[in-house]
Structure formats: C-alpha cells, structure tokens
C-alpha cells in the first residue's frame, strides 16, 4: 500500500483500519468479558472486497461494554496510532516498522463517530491516542473531539477519555467535565516495574499525580467522570502482592471506580516479542482480589499470597481465606454483622443485605431460606456458616470451584 493511499483514507476507513489493529485495552465494567487482544481478520468469504473488510474492521472496533449507564455498544478508537514513545509492550511504539500509522483530526473523528451513532451502530466512545508532540498536545486533540461531540453534535451519551502522561491539570479537569470516565494507565505497580515496561514514562510525575488530581477535582466541583487505571500484568516480574497493595491505595486514596488488569501478550516486532504470554487465570484472580478490596471492604492483608507473593491460581482468594478461617469456626448467619457476612464465599453485598433484612422478620434455619432470598449459590456458603446453631447439609464438591 502506498503512502498516498493512507493519507487519502476517509475518516470512516481510518476508523475501520484502527479497529483492525487496536484491540488491546479493556474499556468497561466487565473487562473479563471483553475481547482485548488483536485477532486475525476472518473473512466470511475467501476474498472479501475492501468494503467488506472495512465493514468487518469497523465492527471489530465496537465493543459491547458494561458502562455506568448500562451495557452499550462502544466505539473503541484512537486519535492516532503514531507515537513518539517506546513502551516495550505496545504495538504503536515508536520505530515499530510493521505498525500502520493513522491519524484522525478531532472533527474527522467526531464526524465518523456521529455517523456511526446515528446509524445505530454505537452508543458510546472510548477514545485513546498515541503521543506526537508531547502529552499536552495529544490531550488537546482528545478534548477537542469530546468538545465537538458534546457542544456541536449535542451527543449526550457515554464518553470515556484517556488522559495522556504529562497532561496539565486544566486538561484533566476539562476532560472530566466532558467525559463519563477518564483513565490514566499506571501500567506498572511500582516505579521500577513501570521503567521495565515503559522507560519514557515517569510513575509519579506523569501518571500517579494525574490520578490523584482526578480525586481532587471531584472533591472540589461537580464533574461527571469517574476514574480508572490499568496494569500490564506478567511481563516484568511484577507480583500480585505489588498489584493488590497498590490497588488498595488507589481505591482508598484516589477513589478509583475500577482497576483493569491486562495480562501481558507479546506483540511481534517489539522488544517483548519473545516473552511468554501471561496467564489469563492470573488476570482473573487479580480481578477477584480487586473486587474484594473495592466492594467487600477487604484489606490487602486479608488476602492470601504464596511464597512467591502471588495469588493462588487454583482457588479464588475469598474461598482460600474462608478455608483457613471459617471452616473450623463457621459464622452464625442469624447474628453476623455485614462485614462478617461478606467474608463468606457465595455471599456478596446484595445477598448480605437480603440476609440482614430477612432475619429481622424470622430466623434463618436452612439453605432453602437463603435460596428463597435470592442468594445465588447457598451451597457455596454452606461449609462456612451456621443456621440457627446448626451447619447446613451440603454436598462436598468433587471438583475445585473456579
Ligand atoms: S505512549 Fe501509549 S501509544 Fe505510545 S508507545 Fe506507550 S503505550 Fe503505546
């Protein structure tokens, strides 16, 4: 393909091409259900036309995402796939000759998105960018696009904006006024891990400072945006203990609404191309631990780590804790307070509230009671609880619970 053709690509064709190559980052509230790795284009027919290929690529850039406004088809795209930085894991890193570089101006991107939105293809935008000319310049383009959508196109729907490393306080603030969600990806759990992943990013000044700004801005004025971050897991020796303990601080101090754990996947023609993929099971266990911190009031020290400072892969962290502390000393469901109920496998925040309400009316005596309350898996809770002084009958599982 010659350069002239690339320059002359229409906005929709550029969006389609970006959709074909941009598949790495989770965007919504159920990241484990999203497809975040690039796949090969699988044509419906042996020789798809360019139009068919573009349509398929465009579809690939639309993700069904669980947003704070409910599940939405979200266009996940970038202002540019060109970048002056050299993050070791990234398909868009500077100097990666096999990467196609495509750039959209704010009005082009806003126009393409609006066409897709009016055609009923999407109802949400997740906008990221490579960096050319510094983080401030890249952030300006992201903000300009959101301004066009909100002010000129009067788009009221879901927008998730990436905050570039090095962007200014006022840019973070404006992004938070325009978006439903902003993300600032820390990538590594410590400055040393980040240096191993992305040597040109500075952990405290470029990234963490901006995450803390988002909480400061929320505390000072009414802005709609929540904030999130992402870690690349398993490329540079990071441990789950590092990731979980930083996650706890971020939930408590920066009030992040979500933390994404993206298991490392080697991209050809990058310095990490020969590293092995990180385990998806590990990613899953990190999400489980993260939810315990965020939704169950657990602390890092409540979560068990092995001698290698990683979570067990064979059992979820809540069950691992309960096997140690609750099997020999089950808790009485008719008396336990909410935090204690939340320690029991199979009992989440909704189930705990239902149990608290129900026992004001009557005594809970068997698993059928719990089932009638809507507790989804009372059998899971059974080995760890007493109901009116007695351990409920439960079947021993022949297989480990995932
Ligand atoms: S700054 Fe972003 S786009 Fe650029 S190389 Fe790093 S991760 Fe990739």
Residue 26: what pLDDT? 56
114 shares its domain with 263? yes
Considering the domain architecture, whether residues 154 and 249 belong to the same structural domain is answered as yes
Predicted pLDDT at 1: 36
CATH number at 109 reads 3.20.20.70
According to the model, what pLDDT value does residue 147 have?
Answer: 98
- CA–CA distance, 299 with 70 (Å, rounded to integer): 29
Nearest CA residue ID for atom 2, ligand 1: 130
Establish if 166 belongs to a structural domain: yes
Average pLDDT estimate for 128-155: 98
What is the number of structural domains in the chain? Answer: 2
Atom of ligand 1 nearest to the CA of 86: 5
Confirm whether 308 is domain-assigned.
no
Q: What is the mean pLDDT of residues 156-185?
A: 97
Least confident of 1-5, 16-20, 175-179, 354-358: 1-5
Which of the listed residues 302, 326, 360 is the one where a domain comes to its end? 302
Indicate if the pLDDT at residue 160 is higher than 90.
yes
Q: Which domain holds residue 361?
A: 318-386
Q: How confident is the model at residue 397 (pLDDT cuts 50, 70, 90)?
A: low
What average pLDDT score do residues 351-361 get? Answer: 96
Residue 355, domain member (yes or no): yes
CA angle, residues 292, 38, 287, in degrees to nearest 5: 5
Looking at the fold, whether 372 and 257 belong to one and the same domain comes out as no
For residues 33 and 61, state if they share a domain.
yes
Shortest-distance atom of ligand 1 to CA 83 = 4
**What mean pLDDT comes out for the span 128-149?**
98
- Same domain (yes/no): 64, 174: yes
**283/267 Cα distance (integer angstroms):** 18
Q: In the predicted model, is pLDDT for residue 169 greater than 50?
A: yes
pLDDT at residue 43 in the model:
40
Query: In angstroms, what is the span from residue 80 Cα to ligand 1's centroid?
Result: 11
Q: What is the pLDDT of residues 6-31, one digit of tens each?
A: 434 688 888 988 887 775 555 566 55
Pocket test for ligand 1, best of 25, 82, 88, 92 (most atoms within 8 A of CB): 92
One domain for residues 234 and 354 = no
Give pTM, 2 decimals: 0.88
> What span, in angstroms and rounded, lies between the C-alpha atoms of 146 and 278?
35
Protein residues with CB under 6 Å of any ligand 1 atom: 83, 85, 87, 90, 92-93, 130-131, 198
pLDDT over 90 for what percent of the chain? 79
* 62 and 189 housed in the same domain: yes
Residue 42 reports pLDDT greater than 60: no
Ligand 1 centroid from CA 203, angstroms: 14
Please check whether residues 236 and 326 belong to one and the same domain. Answer: no
How many whole angstroms from 274 Cα to the centroid of ligand 1? 19
User: What pLDDT score does 148 carry?
Assistant: 98
Lowest-confidence range among 45-59, 155-169, 217-231? 45-59
Angle at which helices 280-295 and 317-325 pack, to 10 degrees?
A: 70
- 237 and 338 fall within a common domain: no
- Residue 402 inside a domain? The answer is no
pLDDT band at 5 (very low <50, low <70, confident <90, very high): very low
Of the listed ranges 15-19, 130-134, 206-210, 258-262, the least confidently predicted one is 15-19
Q: Which of 25-34, 102-111, 216-225, 245-254 has the lowest mean pLDDT?
A: 25-34
Residue 307 lies in a domain: no
Confirm whether 356 is domain-assigned.
yes
Closest CA to 386 of 352, 356, 350, 344: 344
pLDDT given for residue 21 in this prediction = 77
Alpha carbon of 119 to ligand 1 centroid (Å)? 31
pLDDT at 24: 53
Provide the mean pLDDT of the chain: 90
Mean pLDDT value of segment 165-187 = 97
Residues sharing a CB contact under 8 Å with residue 151, sequence separation 6 or more, in sequence order: none
Task: Mean pLDDT check: name the lowest of 56-65, 179-188, 280-289.
Answer: 56-65
Residue 226 and residue 195 in contact, taking contact as beta carbons nearer than 8 Å: no
Dist. CA 229 → ligand 1 center (Å): 15
**CA–centroid distance, residue 266 to ligand 1 (Å):** 15
Span of 41-50, 167-176, 225-234, 378-387 with lowest mean pLDDT? 41-50
Q: Which residues of 280-307 are buried (b: 16+ CB within 10 A; e: fewer)?
A: eebbbbbbbbbbbbbebebebebbebee
pLDDT at 401 over 50: no
Span from the CA of 23 to the centroid of ligand 1 (angstroms) = 14
Residue 4 in this model has a pLDDT that exceeds 50: no
- Whole-angstrom distance, CA of residue 93 vs CA of residue 281: 27
Both 225 and 363 in one domain: the answer is no
214 and 359, same domain (yes or no): no
Q: Which region holds residue 189: left if phi is over 0, alpha if psi is between -120 and 50, else beta?
A: alpha
Residue nearest to ligand 1 atom 1, measured at CA:
85
Residue 312 included in any domain:
no
pLDDT at 18: 87
pLDDT tens string 83-109: 999 999 999 999 999 899 999 999 999
Give residue 3's pLDDT: 36
Does residue 400 lie within any of the structural domains?
no
Q: Are residues 88 and 195 in the same domain?
A: yes
The larger pLDDT score, comparing residue 1 to residue 65, is at: 65
């Amino acid at each position: 393909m010659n350069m002239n053709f690339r320059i002359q690509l229409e906005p929709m064709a550029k969006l389609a091409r970006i959709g074909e190559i941009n598949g790495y980052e989770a965007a919504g509230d159920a990241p484990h259900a999203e497809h975040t790795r690039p796949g090969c284009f699988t044509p419906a027919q042996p020789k798809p036309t360019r139009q068919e290929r573009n349509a398929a690529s465009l579809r690939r850039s639309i993700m069904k995402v669980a947003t704070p406004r409910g599940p939405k088809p979200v266009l996940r795209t970038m202002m540019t796939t060109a970048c002056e930085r050299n993050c070791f894991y990234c398909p868009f890193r500077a100097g990666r000759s096999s990467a196609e570089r495509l750039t959209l101006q704010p009005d082009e991107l806003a126009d393409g998105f609006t066409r897709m939105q009016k055609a009923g293809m999407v109802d949400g935008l997740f906008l990221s960018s490579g960096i050319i000319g510094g983080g401030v310049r890249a952030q300006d383009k992201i903000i300009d696009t959101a301004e066009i959508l909100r002010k000129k196109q009067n788009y009221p729907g879901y927008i998730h904006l990436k905050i570039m490393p090095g962007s200014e306080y006022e840019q973070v603030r404006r992004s938070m006024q325009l978006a439903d969600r902003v993300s600032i990806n820390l990538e590594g759990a410590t400055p040393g891990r980040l240096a191993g992943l992305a040597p040109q990013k500075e952990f405290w000044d470029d990234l963490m400072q901006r995450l803390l700004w988002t909480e400061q801005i929320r505390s000072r004025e009414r802005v709609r945006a929540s904030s999130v971050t992402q870690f690349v897991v398993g490329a540079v020796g990071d441990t789950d203990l590092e990731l979980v303990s930083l996650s706890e601080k971020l939930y408590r101090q920066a009030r992040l609404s979500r933390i994404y754990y993206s298991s490392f996947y080697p991209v050809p023609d990058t310095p990490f191309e020969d590293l092995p993929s990180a385990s998806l099971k590990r990613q899953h266990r990190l999400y489980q631990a993260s939810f315990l911190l965020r939704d169950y009031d657990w602390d890092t020290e409540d979560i068990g780590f092995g001698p290698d400072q990683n979570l067990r892969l064979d059992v979820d962290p809540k069950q691992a804790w309960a096997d140690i502390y609750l099997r020999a000393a089950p808790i009485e469901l008719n008396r336990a307070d909410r935090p204690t109920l939340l320690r029991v496998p199979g009992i989440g925040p909704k189930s705990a509230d239902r149990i608290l309400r129900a026992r004001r009316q009557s005594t809970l005596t068997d698993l059928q009671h719990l089932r009638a309350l809507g507790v989804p898996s009372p059998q899971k809770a059974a080995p760890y609880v007493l109901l009116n002084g007695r351990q409920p009958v439960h079947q021993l599982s022949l297989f480990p619970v995932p």
